[in-house]
A and B are shown apart, each in its own frame.
Chain A
Amino acid sequence: MRRRERHAGAFRALRTQRDQTVNDHPSDPLSIAHSAAPGAGSLTASAGFGSLLDGGFRILIAGAGLSVFALAGLLGWELYRGAEKALSRYGVGFLTGSHWDPVAGRFGALPFLYGTFVSSTIALLLAFPLSVATALSLTEFAPFWIRRPVRALVDLMAAVPSVVWGLWAMFEMVPWLRQAAFPFLQRAFGWIPLFQGPIYGVSLLAGALIIAMMITPIITSLAIEILRAVPPMLREAAWALGATRWEVIRVAVLPYVRSALVGAGVLGLGRALGETMAVTMVIGNRPEILLSLFAPGYTLASVLVNEFAEATSEEHLAALFEIGLTLVAVTLVVNFLARLLIHNIPFFFAPRTLRTQPMEGER
């Protein structure tokens, strides 16, 4: 008797709870048992011992969910604590100082910022067009039987560990660059200051190349997802007007996804800035700002790899923590920008596609 009542109570509670949930969330009417709804209390209370279990479980998952905040807090706090001395001592001058000499106690991060930005930017300039073209090939141009295996290869490429890329680059790419590619570039473009100076092989450009190889799969798979999300209607409309495949892309597809593709590129840039091991192995690790791309450089991440374990003085360690803080700040800003760009697609660019430009041969 009591048992039946209890169940009846449970059902009533469930029903009221669902009704409330429906009212609360018209968009999400089916998720019933979200926490904290007033009905939930009576349901769990009626379950007796189970309520304890349920409460414990709820605390458990909440803890796990909130752990990301703890991680972010830990990250910020430890980096700040480590860098505190350097922060108070050098302030902004740390970022603009161009001399890094741990022995003499001079710490300026500009060479690393320069190396990071130059190598990443070149990498992005190389990787972005290639990635977008590959994505177009895999969504629009290529025959169907080829798309799946190539896509799989691109995904595998993203799974290659950084240190393996670095190893290959050290023993195969850099010697090839030193003997063949760089001399050729110098003969062809030697009049540009970027391609002047002695050739060592290990260089900013080598670092940029290896970064480019590592971020292409990431940008490519993002671009494929983005291109797949284009409403089929846009494509069909262009097809119906007699557009060729390239014209469909130019007129219907690209305008719709432009900002999202840029976002994918920026996300790739975020990855590029943080690439560590492979870059360290080929960039030459010299903390100087040299104009030539054939000259060795240094990046924020590389200096951490090379000096963190060997930092003996407290100042040096604090300066390295500040480098880490800078690296996090830079990647944060870039990732944030990418998110803004990617999530704004329909917002900015949908109306544009409606204003279809006349195609060639149609006037």
Chain B
Amino acid sequence: MSASGSAPSPEWSRERRASGEERATARRFRVRKILDRFFQLLSLLASVAVISPLLLVFVFLLSSGGSSLTWDFLTQLPKPVGETGGGMANAIVGSCILVAIAIVIGAPIGVLGGVFLYEHKEPRLRAAIRFTADVLNGVPSIIWGIVVYSWVVLRMKTFSGLAGGLALSFIMIPLILRTTEDVLRLVPPAYREAGLALGLRRSQVILHIVLATARRGIVTGVLLSAARVAGETAPLLFTAFGNRVWTARLQEPMAALPLQIFTYAISPYPDWHRQAWAGALVLLALVFLMNLALRLLSRGKPE
């Protein structure tokens, strides 16, 4: 249209526009910086908000549970209802027994299942196993309590430590299976090839080379899952059931720390509440120590 007309020199206009744009850019740049800072702050606040409940729980347990955590608490049996004092010694031991049963049943099955997942050729079967294991990992733990109740408790006609350990092991198996497979994938293929080249049998290669190389990771996986089930309450409610006296017999109801904490927490007695806090402190300390130890262990050396 009007190619030049009466407009001022093009050089001048270009310069002017550029400086205007520059100013706008500078302004936008400031806004962008502020936005950046704003979101940084927001995300920081979010992480503080996420972490703070953990700290609150800590402080609560240390302040209220710490004072009730006495030597008696760790070594005495629960007193009859109405009497103050007593402890949770049987529950602590019971928890250890239950977790031990769970490891004895769950770890071999889980680890060997992981080996199968690693060794087997057919990809569709592997995918199916992996999928099923993931599905089982998503099942709420109380469901295992019900399943074991109707499978074992109804048949044995009694609540038992064995049933409790079994319920815990059912939770462990798919967990261990998946972590074992992940760990085995890290074993360099050359190791097993070397074993096979020496004429070792497959079982020997697996036991002496593959599993031996991945030992640390597998143990970590097993103990992590043990730490997880050690805190489980729901699956024990209808299986181990709880007990107020000593028992080492697996076919009898068995006390467990999380169960005892729950029973005491929902009871109306202040003395029991105090003991529940102390119990929770012990449980939390056990679980955290296990986690920390494993963290250090798995960080130690890469191999």
Which residues of A pack against B, CB within 8 Å?
Answer: 7, 10-11, 14, 24-25, 30-37, 44, 47, 50, 53-54, 57-58, 60-69, 71-72, 74-75, 78-79, 81-82, 129-131, 133-134, 136-138, 140-142, 150, 152-157, 159-168, 170-172, 213, 216-217, 220, 244-247, 249, 270-271, 273-277, 281, 301, 304-305, 308-309, 320-321, 324, 327-328, 331-332, 335-336, 339, 360-361
Task: For the complex formed, measure the closest distance between the CB of B137 and the CB atoms of chain A, giving whole angstroms.
Answer: 9
Q: A191 to B136, alpha carbons, bound, how many Å?
A: 44
Q: Is the CB of A332 within 8 A of B135?
A: yes
Across-interface contacts of B288 in A (CB, < 8 A): 156, 159
Across-interface contacts of A7 in B (CB, < 8 A): 199
Nearest B residue to A168, CB-CB: B57
Q: Is the CB of A301 within 8 A of B234?
A: yes
Q: Is the CB of A142 within 8 A of B44?
A: yes
Task: For the complex formed, measure the closest distance between the CB of B23 and the CB atoms of chain A, giving whole angstroms.
Answer: 12
Task: For the complex formed, measure the closest distance between the CB of B295 and the CB atoms of chain A, giving whole angstroms.
Answer: 7
Interface of B is mostly: helix
Q: Is the CB of B258 within 8 A of A171?
A: no
* B interface residues, how many (CB within 8 angstroms): 100
Binds A, one of B8-16, B48-56, B71-79, B80-88: B48-56
Q: Is the CB of A134 within 8 A of B47?
A: yes
Q: A324 to B234, alpha carbons, bound, how many Å?
A: 13
Contact of A304 with B284 at beta-carbon distance under 8 Å, contacts A32-B196, A159-B291, A171-B64 already known: no
Q: Is the CB of B64 within 8 A of A14?
A: no
Q: Is the CB of A61 within 8 A of B134?
A: no
Task: For the complex formed, measure the closest distance between the CB of B203 and the CB atoms of chain A, giving whole angstroms.
Answer: 4
Contact of A161 with B232 at beta-carbon distance under 8 Å, contacts A61-B112, A141-B44 already known: yes
Task: For the complex formed, measure the closest distance between the CB of B11 and the CB atoms of chain A, giving whole angstroms.
Answer: 24
Across-interface contacts of A74 in B (CB, < 8 A): 147, 151
Q: Is the CB of B233 within 8 A of A163?
A: yes
Contact of A244 with B35 at beta-carbon distance under 8 Å, contacts A71-B136, A281-B266 already known: yes
Q: Is the CB of A154 within 8 A of B146?
A: no
Contact of A54 with B46 at beta-carbon distance under 8 Å, contacts A68-B173, A154-B51, A156-B291 already known: no
Q: A121 to B106, alpha carbons, bound, how many Å?
A: 34
Q: Is the CB of A65 within 8 A of B116?
A: yes
Q: A249 to B112, alpha carbons, bound, how many Å?
A: 42
Q: Is the CB of B61 within 8 A of A168?
A: yes
Residue among A36, A78, A168, A244 with most chain B CB within 10 A: A168
Residue B138 contacts which of A11, A150, A160, A270 (CB distance < 8 angstroms)?
A270
Q: Is the CB of A161 within 8 A of B177?
A: no
Q: Is the CB of A60 within 8 A of B112?
A: yes
Q: Is the CB of A305 within 8 A of B134?
A: no
B192 beta carbon closer than 8 Å to chain A: yes
Q: A233 to B206, alpha carbons, bound, how many Å?
A: 39
Contact of A155 with B233 at beta-carbon distance under 8 Å, contacts A65-B112, A276-B141, A308-B238 already known: no
Contact of A152 with B295 at beta-carbon distance under 8 Å, contacts A35-B120, A62-B116, A246-B39 already known: yes
Given contacts A244-B32, A301-B234, A308-B149, 20 further A-B contacts (CB under 8 A): A25-B121, A33-B202, A36-B121, A62-B120, A65-B116, A67-B173, A69-B132, A154-B50, A161-B230, A163-B262, A166-B265, A167-B277, A171-B60, A172-B56, A277-B262, A301-B140, A309-B238, A327-B142, A328-B140, A331-B138
Which residues of B pack against A, CB within 8 Å?
Answer: 24-25, 28-29, 31-33, 35-36, 38-40, 42-44, 46-47, 49-51, 53-54, 56-57, 60-61, 64, 108-113, 115-117, 119-121, 128-129, 132-136, 138-147, 149-151, 170, 173-174, 177, 189-190, 192-193, 196-197, 199, 201-203, 205-206, 227-228, 230-234, 237-238, 241, 258, 261-262, 265-266, 273, 276-277, 280, 283-284, 287-288, 291, 295
Task: For the complex formed, measure the closest distance between the CB of B245 and the CB atoms of chain A, giving whole angstroms.
Answer: 19
Nearest A residue to B152, CB-CB: A78
Contact of A130 with B50 at beta-carbon distance under 8 Å, contacts A54-B202, A141-B43, A274-B139 already known: yes
Across-interface contacts of A64 in B (CB, < 8 A): 108-113, 115-116
Q: Is the CB of A281 within 8 A of B265?
A: yes
Nearest A residue to B28, CB-CB: A361
Q: Is the CB of A327 within 8 A of B143?
A: yes
Across-interface contacts of B115 in A (CB, < 8 A): 61, 64-65
- Which 4 pairs of residues, A with B, have the shortest CB-CB distance? A161-B231, A274-B140, A65-B116, A133-B46
Q: A232 to B150, alpha carbons, bound, how many Å?
A: 52
Contact of A360 with B32 at beta-carbon distance under 8 Å, contacts A78-B147, A161-B232, A161-B287 already known: yes
Q: Is the CB of B231 within 8 A of A335?
A: no
Across-interface contacts of A336 in B (CB, < 8 A): 135
Across-interface contacts of B284 in A (CB, < 8 A): 160-161, 164
Q: Is the CB of B113 within 8 A of A68?
A: yes
Across-interface contacts of A82 in B (CB, < 8 A): 146, 150
Q: A71 to B230, alpha carbons, bound, how many Å?
A: 20
Across-interface contacts of A81 in B (CB, < 8 A): 150
Contact of A160 with B47 at beta-carbon distance under 8 Å, contacts A81-B150, A246-B36, A361-B28 already known: no
